[in-house]
């Protein structure tokens, strides 16, 4: 999305155009049902709740509930960590303290 002269322009992008990395949060060395646990639980919840907030914002809802505003902020903050470098750093730190990633 981008805003040009007070108009919101939305255009679809393929994953290759978005910095997409397959299995970014995959935990190596664990069973397949646990390997994507973080993505399927936490990140799914963050994205799902933020999607509802975004729908409210796009609809022009003037009084967006606090729960939705919090979900949107949580999503925005998650973007700081949704990249290869941040995930690698987190893995390194988790390994140092002895938690299996």
Per-residue pLDDT for 99 more than 70?
no
Contact 52, 84 (CB under 8 A): no
Determine the pLDDT at residue 22.
80
Tokens 């967006």 correspond to 64
Give per-residue pLDDT as tens, 66-91.
999 999 999 999 998 888 888 888 77
Whether 8 shows a pLDDT value over 60: the answer reads: yes
Greater confidence (8 vs 25) lies with 8
Rounded CA-CA distance 101/30 in Å is 8
Strand segments (E) across the chain: 2-4, 7-9
* Per-residue model confidence as pLDDT tens digits over 17-58: 677 778 887 777 777 777 788 888 888 999 999 999 999 999
Is this prediction's pTM over 0.75? no
């Amino acid at each position: 999305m981008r805003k040009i002269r007070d108009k919101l322009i939305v255009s679809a992008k393929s994953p290759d155009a978005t910095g997409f990395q397959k299995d970014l949060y995959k935990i190596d060395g664990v069973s397949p049902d646990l390997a994507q646990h973080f993505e399927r639980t936490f990140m799914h919840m963050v994205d799902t709740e933020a999607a509802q907030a975004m729908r409210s914002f796009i609809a022009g809802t003037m009084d967006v509930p606090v729960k939705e505003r919090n979900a949107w902020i949580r999503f925005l903050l998650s973007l700081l960590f949704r990249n290869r470098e941040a995930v690698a750093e987190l893995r390194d730190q988790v390994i140092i303290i002895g938690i299996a990633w």
